Amino acid sequence: MTAYTSDEMMTVAAARRLPNGAVCFVGIGLPSAACNLARLTHAPDLVLIYESGTVGTRPSVLPLRIGEGDLAETARSVIPLPEIFTHYLQSGRVDVGFLGGAQIDRFGNLNSTVIGSYDAPKVRLPGAGGAPEIAMHVKELLIVMKQSARTFVERLDFRTTAGFLEGGDARARAGLPGGGPRAVITDFGEMTPDPVTRELVLGGIFDGVTADEARAACGWPLRVAGTVTRIAPPTNTELQTLRDLQERTRAAHARRVRITLPT
CB-CB contact of 223 with 194 (8 Å): yes
Residue type at position 161? T
CB-CB contact of 218 with 152 (8 Å): yes
Spatial distance between the Cα atoms of 156 and 27, rounded to a whole number of angstroms: 23
Q: What is the DSSP letter of 89?
A: I
Q: At what angle do helices 30-40 and 236-257 cross, to 10 degrees?
A: 120
In order of 40, 123, 255, the CA distances from 158 in angstroms are 37, 12, 41
Enumerate the H helices of the chain as residue ranges.
6-16, 30-40, 69-73, 81-83, 131-137, 170-173, 211-216, 236-257
Catalytic residue among 51, 68, 133, 190: 51
Spatial distance between the Cα atoms of 94 and 79, rounded to a whole number of angstroms: 15
Bridge partner residues of 2 (DSSP): none
Task: Tell me if residue 51 is catalytic.
Answer: yes
Residues annotated as catalytic (active site), given as ranges = 51
